[in-house]
Structures are given as structure tokens and as C-alpha cells.
Chains A and B, each alone.
Chain A
Amino acid sequence: MNPSESLFLQALPAFLLGARDTIIYCVSSFALALLFGLILALMNSSRFVWLKAPARIFIEVIRSTPILAQMFLLYYGVGAVLANVNLAYLDNAWVAGIATLSLNYAAYEAEVYRAGFLSVDRGQTEAALSLGLTSEQNFFRIVLPQAIPLMIPPFVNDFIYMLKDSAIVSVISGTELTSVLDYWSSRHGSNLFPLYLLAVGLYLIMSLPTSYVARFFERRLRAAL
């Protein structure tokens, strides 16, 4: 067995664990992002300025700053303040990483929700209201069921983006696929090719099937419309 091959096999278990952690980061962050995003989208489409403006400001600020800056701010900035007020157990890469990813993506998901709600024909709402449904009933029974299929492809796309963006957790010493790559490549500096191949391959294995699923949903959606 040549050294590249043996390093490949030697590193494989660690990289698989890293990939598992990447998925844990992404699944938990994305679930939170969907929740926060829905809240933001509902606030954003409200009639009341006091609900609308804070959501708008949050979305604009998040979308105009790099996710790395947000992560540094939360991990080093807020983390240091938390450590000062006896909340040091919240000052770790898991909390900061998931908080950053979910808050960042919430701003993007809010826009997806908004586009989804807007794409439901206004006549549907008018008909529901004139039939005597309350606006809550209209939203949950009429608008949401029609909007959800339209929102699935952009959600899947954003999930793939999150799979890739979660790599920056490695910068704040979180443990996931890129940090495993970092660790191994700093110890095997003369033989990097198999390590890069492993990391790139695992990311492709995670992201390519997901993008095919997204395309499949998109095609089915077009056929249904």
C-alpha cells in the first residue's frame, strides 16, 4: 500500500465523524432558521410598523454583513461578555456556531417565506375572507398549504448553502468536517492530496444528492402547476 492510500484509509473514520458533525450543525441550525424565518416573515408582512420595522432592520443588517463577522461577534464578543456574567457554559463553538448559522439563515428564509406567501393569488385570500374565515384561518388553511410546495426548492437550496457555510465553524474551533481537514493537514503537510480529496468528496456526497432532490421537486412542481 502506498503512503497516500494508507493515509486515506487512516483518515477516513475521522473525516466521517467530521461529516456527521457538519450534518448535526446544519440540521439543528436549519430547523431553528425555519422557525425564526417564519416569525420574521410574519412580522414583516404585518400591518403594524412596530412589528414590521424590527424584522426589516434585522433582515437588512444580517444580509449586509459577512457570516464570519457575525460568528466572531457572537463567539468572541458576546462570548466574552457571557463569560463575565457567569454564563461561561454558553461560550462554546456549538452554541455560537448554531446561533450564527440559524440567525443568519433566518434572514434569508424570511425572504423565501415572503416570496411564497406573495405567490399565492390574492383572490384566494379575498374569497376566504368573504366566505367568513378569520384572517388566522385564512393564513393557516388557505395560504400556507398552497405556499409550502413553492417554498420547498428554495429551502433545499438554502440547506445546501448552509452545508457549505457551516465550514466557517472551524474558524472558531468548532469540530466539523473542515476542522478535521485542518487538523489532519497540519500534521501531514507533505501528503495533502488524499486529505483534500476526502474532504471535497464528502462535501460533494452531501451536497450533490441534495441538489438533485431540489431539482426533482422543482420539476414535479412545474408539472403540477
Chain B
Amino acid sequence: MQQALPSTEPKRRSWLVILDYLFYVALAAALAGFLYYIYTFRQEALLITPYLLAGAAATIAISAVSMVLATIFGFIGALGRLSRFTVLRAIAAIYVEVIRGTPILVQLFVWYFGLSLLLARLGFSPYAVAFQFMTVLQNNSLVPDTFNGIFYGIIGLSFNYGAYLTEVFRTGIESVDKGQSEAALSLGLTSSQALRRIILPQAIRITIPPFTNYFITLVQDSSLLATLSVLELEQQTYALAFPLINSNIKLFVFIFGALFYLAICYPLALLARYLEARMAVAY
């Protein structure tokens, strides 16, 4: 470990430093003020918290499922981009470029309004499938009315993030020294063995920090499912706030809903930073 060196900057005492101490007082006052602001709306807060918690649970569940699917899409995409076959490489490249060049909102519309219609004409409705399946299990009331939105929303989110993860995995795999796979192949491993046993374990190390960062943005982008009328955190916030007449309470509900996102995403951001710092250290 390198020892902390004394700062080379000339020490200049300034009257502005006094403001630092004043700032702590002001920060404490601001925090107290914000807590008091929430306290003044405690009745509304108590009323809406259960709905927002349900929304937060839906957001987390949707994000988790989407991330798993996105990892699968991204892994397939990365294998496509690194493939020996030009056709596969071209398909993967088009996938990445088109997805990364268009807004996720437009993609969600294409999935939810366009492709769903096309599939419905072919006789496929995710809601009907889920409903029939749960009927067999005698639990069909568990299938939400917005199941189509959830289904195509998750597909759209994971397809979008799959393109970004494709690039993450590709750079991860490419960053493993070529000598490693050459050594593995010359020692008699098959190419799939070399990928599974030699390259991936080393590549995963590099991909973990960007992977976590993309999970954070995925949680945030899952708020766009509100436009597909999925009852996740943002839609719950909006549905609770919109009918209110008192504009102060309305503003409070939106702030309160944003605080829930903060409570989900900020710990994840800290985790991402911790992982990044750990991965920066050599083996």
C-alpha cells in the first residue's frame, strides 16, 4: 500500500472555510426540514405506503426477471458477435446497433402494440396462456389483468438490455489474453471446454462492475412499463397522485415515490462502486 503523502497544494486558510462549519449546521437544518416536510404529510404517507411498497416489489421482481433474460440475450449476442460465421456476426451486429440506436420506449411500444397484435392474430396471447395455466392450478385470480403489459414489457426490457450486455460480454471475453485459449486448445481442451473452463471465469471478473451498473439503469428504466399500464412503482405513484386536487399533496406523493426508487437504487450504486474498487485491484 502506498502511504498517503501530504498534499502538495499550498495550505491557504480562507474565511470561506468558516462556511464549512456553517454548512454542517445548514445541512442538518435542511435534513430536519425535509423530515418535517414528510411529517406534515404523515397521514397521506401512511395511506400510500402499502401501495408504493407493492409497486416497489413489482419493480424489483420485473427488474430481476428482465436482468436474467437480458443476461441470456446478451450471452447469445456476444457469442454471435465473436462467431466465425459472417451471417451470425452480421445478425448480432444489427441487433446491437438497432437496439442501441432507438429509444427503449419506442421498442416497448413495438413489442406491446405491434408484435403483440401480430402474435394475437396467430392465436398467441400471453394473458390467455397464463390464465389457462393458472386455472389448471386453480389459482387464476393471481394472474393480473395487465399480464400482457408485464409479459411484453419484460421481453422489451430484456431484449434492450441484452444488446448492451452483448457489448459488455464481448469486451469481457476479448479482454482475456489470446494465449489463454491457445494454451487451452493446445493442451487438448475442446473449444467449448476452453470457453467454459478457461475464458469465461476470467471474463466474468471484468464484466461484473458494468453488469451491476446496467442493473441499476434497468431498475430505473423499468419505470417505463408504466406506459404499458403495468402497476409498478412509477405507475402506482402516478395513479395515487394524479386524481389529487391539492397540488401540495400531489407534489409530495411524487417526491415520496421517488424516494422509494432512491432506496432501491442507491444501495445498488454503492455496491457497484465497491465491486469496481475491488476489481480494480489485481488478482
Contacts and interface: CB of A to CB of B under 8 A. Distances in A.
Interface in B67-104: 97-98, 100-104
Contact of A64 (B23, B105, B269): B269
A68 B103 contact: no
Task: Please tell me the size bucket of the interface on B.
Answer: 35 or more
B106 A69 contact: no
Contacts of A160: 101
Interface stretch (B128-136, B142-150, B186-194, B236-244): B236-244
Contacts of A90: none
Nearest to A185: B113
Which are the 7 A-B pairs with shortest beta-carbon distances?
A: A50-B23, A80-B247, A167-B103, A77-B251, A66-B220, A77-B254, A64-B265
B24 interface: yes
B262 A61 contact: yes
Nearest to B227: A171
B203 interface: no
B106 A200 contact: yes
Contacts of B97: 204, 208
Contacts of B24: 49
A170 interface: yes
B104 A164 contact: yes
B95 to A, nearest CB: 13
Interface of A: 47-50, 53, 60-61, 63-70, 72-73, 76-78, 80-81, 83-84, 126, 129, 160, 163-168, 170-171, 178, 181-182, 185, 189, 192-193, 196, 199-200, 203-204, 207-208, 211
A119 B152 CA distance: 43
A105 to B, nearest CB: 14
Contacts of A60: 266, 269
A27 to B, nearest CB: 17
A168 B22 contact: no
Contact of A193 (B114, B220, B221): B114
B213 to A, nearest CB: 10
Contact of A70 (B19, B23, B104, B258): B258
Contacts of A166: 103
B117 interface: yes
Interface string B1-24: 000000010100000110110111
10 contacts: A65-B262, A66-B221, A68-B234, A69-B234, A73-B255, A81-B251, A160-B101, A164-B104, A204-B97, A207-B100
Contacts of B117: 189, 192
Nearest to A60: B266
B48 interface: no
A205 B266 CA distance: 35
A211 B226 contact: no
Contact of A181 (B17, B109, B234, B261): B109
Given A73-B254, A76-B242, A168-B103, 4 more contacts: A164-B102, A182-B109, A204-B102, A208-B97
B230 to A, nearest CB: 13
Contact of A76 (B114, B216, B250): B250
A192 B114 contact: yes
A204 B98 contact: yes
Interface string B242-271: 100001101111110110011001100100
B21 to A, nearest CB: 9
B26 interface: yes
Given A50-B23, A170-B105, A203-B101, A68 B223 contact: yes
